[in-house]
Amino acid sequence: MYDIATNVSRVANETYSHTRRIMPPQPWWEHLESSFHKFPDDFELDLRTEMTVDATALGDLLLRTTGASMLNTLALPSSFKPMQLKRDAGNRSFYQRKANKADPAAFFKRPNSSKVQIKSSNAGLLRFRPDDGSCRLLSFDSPFKTVNPKLREEYPKLKRNMRAVAQHWRHNDGPRPTIAVIHGFMADPYWMNRMFFALPWFYEQGYDILLYTLPHHGKRAARSSPFSGHGFFANGTAHISESFAHAVHDFRIFMDYLESEGVSKVGVTGISLGGYTSALLASVEDRLEFAIPNVPVVSLADLVLEWFPLNLSIKAMLKATGTSVRDIRHELAVHSALTYQPKLPKERLMVIAGAGDRLAPPKHARLLWDHWDRPKIHWFPGNHLVHLDKGKYLKEMAGFMREIEFDRM
């Protein structure tokens, strides 16, 4: 029987394992070509497989244009106000200096969770209902303060965002090794991630689950936000960097809580923006047992230059302000996994990527794979949302967890 998924995975891995590495020397933001966003994402596939991949890629291009139009219309205007551009320009060197240190501890400070009170409440009607466990909503008032003192008054005004939340599935005879799952941009509903990642199946394998909500999403989004995640990208580049610092900060407090409850092992996976964040966490948090970013992005500056019509506005802004792609890349590098060496050994890292993905193009996954010295990688046929033969890589993830003995307490 013809197996497209196996063919894509085999050909992609064979092709890339024998090609030159595309990860440039450090500092990567200086040496990565300015035209990186124009690099092709082609694979050497047979005609039947190529037609399948191209068809899914077309679907992504349509979705990408819709999403880029939403951001261009509803999020970008507030970032492009003259005063906001002036503030971002004034703050740029602060984040560039932090990136120059290539030390995650310089930007991602370990939170003090000793005085944080975790509240447990009902997880709602659509919650997972295990026969042998519980599903609860965990939350706490985040003590996060922006790394840059200049934003410390403005950032906390988004009050709902300062309440961290996560859904927690726990076996009655727990605690168990816990898989932390981080959603993608605008894709925070717990029920959606439960279905997409087949989390009940992982729960049945014996794992507890933590579904972490990123800043500005879901219950953390401002009531006035036109869509979930709007606040992440609506207030300028400095705000974006602080939002990632906030995401890491609150995730680590949830890790502290799990440890206090007796959990000895936590691993992380995430999709899209969650893939970006899970790769970043692998550079920051040495307590993690594994990190499996799924269709990850690694350079936001390069990503948006591919997203029509958003890219037209970005290019116009760069030209009007005399800012180069490398300048913005350098600023945002403070929260890119490419800037730091991973805290986890290569054997505990895995990358999952789609050959037809055009929202998080394959070249981003290749950069991360190279930077991590080419750990285990799985290519699937499909795009950013349609992961054809997803069951294959879910089983591969489960096997990977057994190989590193994550299933053992």
Q: What CATH number does the domain containing 317 carry? A: 3.40.50.1820
What was the pLDDT predicted at 18? 47
Q: Which residues contact 273 (CB under 8 A, 6 or more apart)?
A: 182, 183, 184, 185, 214, 229, 232, 297
CA distance 192 to 188: 8
- The encoded tokens of residue 29 equal 């933001």
User: Which residues form the domain of 313?
Assistant: 54-403
- Tell me if 245 is assigned to some domain: yes
Answer whether residue 298 is part of any domain: yes
Q: What is the pLDDT of residue 105?
A: 97
Q: Look at residue 381 in the predicted model and tell me its pLDDT.
A: 86
37 domain-assigned:
no
39 within some domain:
no
Total number of domains in the chain: 1
Whether 206 maps to a domain, the answer reads: yes
- Give me the pLDDT at residue 77, please: 78
Q: Which residues contact 128 (CB under 8 A, 6 or more apart)?
A: 135, 167, 169, 190, 194, 199, 200, 203
CB 318 within 8 A of CB 260: no
Stretches in the chain below the pLDDT threshold 50:
1, 15-18
User: Is residue 16 domain-resident?
Assistant: no
Judge whether 103 lies within some domain: yes
Judge whether 215 lies within some domain: yes
Is pTM beyond 0.85? Reply is yes
For 196-210, what is each residue's pLDDT tens digit?
999 999 999 999 999
